[in-house]
């Protein structure tokens, strides 16, 4: 680690080595060479005078990049692609003349960007599915546990701990659908030439359009794609970057919702994120167990959501067939959106693998509010015993207001039930009221909804992706 210059926290603290490599210079330049080999092989198939020996020479040096030669050359010519064409030619003297034949810089630059984004999205998909798997297990385990639900962050009718987890799950499953669509929709730029007209390939193949199309088809197939974009300027549409980062921003939104909910629940002492044996919560307050992982998710999610504006503005300001104001921005914005989302999901894996629930606190908080929610049930039970509904309704209103004042103004416990039991108008004994106050009677279809959602929505996706599951995360910092 260099201590005398800025280093991105994405590299030193947050993103995985796996995702960092996908966006590394080494991976980029090796992909360039694969694309040059694919181009040469496709051109050979369509009759250009390229020999098997030349292609074999290119393949022999696909991975041993002579960076010193490329870097020295770039200092002279100030062009990264032509510097690497030159360096490749130094290693492959017999193939020197056919490297990059007919192509423009975007042939390697843009096609590599698409390949890299697809690899990054596949990593994101794997991690997202593992988060979904952990939350699905959690939802199933706690599907029956009554818990306070909230509207406006005020106590509302009851839910269950597991049902609430399906709300987090559902947003992630929406993201999964978008992610799958985006991966399936990605297309290579292909070999379109300087302004997208393929004019240089028209010259190479004497105007034979069938051969020019076949070259692109061969390149796409070799690089693992079904198709190339049908039309373009010099570059693929920068809306593609915006759409890809938009998917990542969607995941960030879902992650932020989850982390904020968990931070509030940790304040309520109902749930908390894992806390390691030697972890320090505060430098000043030794007793504290701060939700630092959830806070980090919130922070990184905010970055990704904001970062999604970068490719949107870039897409909106590309003039005609292309301008170069995209390059400096996209190489930062797109890469860091992936690195940050990778970090978010890594933290979520850690958190969801060790979520802690405190059942007694959950129940205690339920029972403090349940008397207010149960007033209609109490009233109906008393009516069945011969009471007057209107009179009972008014008496419940008065008792509820008095109990609320006792809680808010005097700091006492909710004594609504004691007031009702002491009122002869209701004719109810304490054990009869306690039976009414069973929290499970107030959670509606929560448990069934969890079962149905997991069975019909989540489990089929997890089953179809079984080979990707089983990942866990350990935080290094």
Note the pLDDT of residue 77.
95
Spell out the domain ranges in the chain. Answer: 126-196+231-354, 375-436
Note the pLDDT of residue 141.
98
| Residue given tokens 């999205």 in the structure block | 121
Determine the Cα–Cα distance for residues 203 and 275; give it in Å rounded to an integer.
Answer: 66
Residue 97's CB is within 10 A of a number of other CB atoms, namely: 11
48-101 pLDDT, tens digit each: 999 999 999 999 999 999 999 999 999 999 999 999 999 999 999 999 999 999
Handedness of CA 187, 173, 297, 239 (dihedral sign): positive
Note the pLDDT of residue 1.
66
Note the pLDDT of residue 431.
82
Note the pLDDT of residue 171.
98
Determine the Cα–Cα distance for residues 189 and 180; give it in Å rounded to an integer.
Answer: 20
Q: Of 2, 103, 136, 110, nearest to 450 (Cα)?
A: 136
Note the pLDDT of residue 39.
98
**CATH 1.20.200.10, applies to 126-196+231-354:** yes
Q: Do 126-196+231-354 and 375-436 fold alike per CATH?
A: no
Q: Tokens representing 447? A: 């448990």
Residue 359's CB is within 10 A of a number of other CB atoms, namely: 12
Determine the Cα–Cα distance for residues 253 and 207; give it in Å rounded to an integer.
Answer: 50
Integer CA distances (angstroms), 375 to 275, 378, 392, in order: 39, 5, 10
Long-range CB contacts (within 8 A, 24+) of 12-15 = 12/477, 13/476, 13/477, 14/300, 14/339, 14/340, 14/342, 14/343, 14/346, 15/339, 15/340, 15/342, 15/343, 15/346
Note the pLDDT of residue 340.
98
- Which residues are bridge partners to 158 per DSSP? 148
Could you give the residue numbers annotated as active site? 152, 282
Integer CA distances (angstroms), 184 to 23, 323, 363, in order: 20, 28, 46
Determine the Cα–Cα distance for residues 374 and 390; give it in Å rounded to an integer.
Answer: 17
Note the pLDDT of residue 419.
84
Which parts of the chain register pLDDT below 70?
1, 276-288, 473-477
Residue 387's CB is within 10 A of a number of other CB atoms, namely: 18
Looking at 1.10.40.30, 1.20.120.80, 3.40.50.1100, 3.30.420.40, the CATH number of the domain 375-436 comes to 1.10.40.30
The burial of 68, by beta-carbon neighbours within 10 Å (0-12 exposed, 13-18 middle, 19 or more buried), is given as exposed
Q: Of 290, 310, 287, nearest to 298 (Cα)?
A: 290
Note the pLDDT of residue 393.
86
Task: Answer yes or no: pTM beyond 0.85.
Answer: yes
């Amino acid at each position: 680690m260099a201590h005398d210059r800025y280093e991105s926290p994405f590299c030193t603290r947050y993103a995985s080595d796996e995702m960092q490599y996908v966006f590394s210079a080494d991976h980029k330049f090796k992909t360039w060479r694969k694309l040059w080999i694919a181009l040469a092989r496709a051109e050979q198939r369509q009759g250009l005078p390229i020999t098997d020996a030349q292609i074999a020479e290119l393949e022999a040096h696909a991975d041993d990049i002579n960076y010193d030669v490329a870097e020295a050359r770039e200092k002279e010519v100030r062009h990264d692609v032509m510097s690497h064409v030159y360096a490749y030619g130094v290693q492959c003297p017999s193939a020197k003349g056919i490297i990059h034949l007919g192509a423009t810089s975007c042939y390697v630059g843009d096609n590599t960007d698409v390949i890299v984004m697809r690899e990054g999205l596949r990593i994101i998909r794997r991690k997202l599915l593992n988060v979904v798997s952990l939350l699905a297990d959690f939802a199933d385990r706690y599907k029956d546990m009554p818990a306070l639900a909230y509207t406006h962050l005020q106590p509302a009718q009851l839910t269950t701990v597991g049902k609430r987890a399906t709300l987090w799950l559902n947003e992630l499953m929406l993201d999964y659908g978008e992610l799958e669509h985006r991966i399936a929709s990605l297309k290579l730029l292909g070999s379109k030439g300087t302004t997208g007209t393929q004019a240089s390939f028209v010259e190479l193949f004497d105007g034979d359009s069938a051969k020019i199309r076949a070259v692109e088809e061969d390149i796409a197939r070799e690089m693992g794609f079904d198709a190339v974009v049908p039309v373009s300027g010099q570059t693929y549409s920068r809306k593609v970057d915006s759409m890809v980062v938009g998917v990542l921003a969607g995941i960030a939104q879902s992650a932020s919702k989850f982390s904020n909910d968990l931070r509030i629940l940790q304040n309520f002492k109902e749930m908390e994120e894992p806390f390691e044996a030697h972890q320090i919560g505060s430098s000043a307050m030794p007793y504290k167990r701060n939700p630092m992982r959830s806070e980090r998710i919130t922070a990184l999610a905010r970055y990704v959501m904001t970062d999604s504006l970068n490719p949107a503005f870039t897409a909106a300001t590309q003039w005609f067939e292309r301008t170069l104001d995209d390059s400096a921005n996209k190489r930062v914005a797109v890469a860091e959106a992936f690195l940050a989302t990778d970090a978010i999901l890594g933290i979520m894996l850690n958190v969801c693998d060790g979520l802690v629930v405190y059942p007694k606190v959950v129940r205690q908080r339920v029972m403090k509010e349940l008397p207010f929610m149960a007033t209609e049930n109490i009233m109906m039970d008393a009516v069945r015993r011969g009471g007057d509904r209107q009179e009972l309704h008014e008496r419940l209103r008065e008792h509820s207001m008095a109990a609320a004042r006792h809680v808010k103004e005097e700091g006492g416990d909710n004594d609504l039930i004691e007031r009702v039991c002491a009122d002869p108008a209701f004719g109810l004994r304490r054990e009869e009221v306690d039976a009414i106050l069973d929290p499970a009677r107030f959670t509606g279809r929560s448990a069934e909804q969890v079962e149905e959602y997991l069975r019909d929505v989540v489990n089929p996706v997890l089953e179809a992706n079984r080979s990707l599951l089983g990942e866990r995360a350990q935080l290094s910092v």
